[in-house]
Amino acid sequence: MSTPKLNNSASPSHRWGFVLSGGNGMRLREWVHSRGGDYLPKQYVTFVDQRSMFEHTWRRPQRLIPEQQLVTVIAMEDLPFAEGARQVASSATTWAPITPCH
């Protein structure tokens, strides 16, 4: 079976991207709490360098897609966390809160 080739011929002005910021962080919940004092979802925690997993993930597609054409999808349950809201507001120009079905 051959590997399908991606069509990279579209100009950046025609590209759109979606950054999915999800997960409840249940497996790391207690560790994050002991480290930072709250139950911040893991995608907003800084593990490496000075940026969180969300910030690292959000910057990757910017090499191929204009920032104003990136949409960040976040869980509604993340909105009450001030640090998560700060990261999304400072990074994403367009974001869409959703309520995941578990």
Structure tokens at 76: 């509604």
Q: Which of 94, 83, 89, 90 is nearest to 41 (CA)?
A: 83
Phi/psi at 73 (5° precision): -105, 120
Q: Are 91 and 55 in contact (CB under 8 A)?
A: yes
pLDDT truncated to tens, each residue of the chain (102 aa)? 565 555 556 676 788 988 888 777 678 888 888 877 788 888 888 887 889 888 988 888 988 898 889 888 888 888 888 888 888 888 767 777 777 665
Residue 99: its pLDDT value, please? Answer: 75
**Residue 18 corresponds to which tokens in the numbers above?**
């979606």
pLDDT on residue 5: 58
Model pTM score: 0.73
> So where are the chain's domains?
15-98
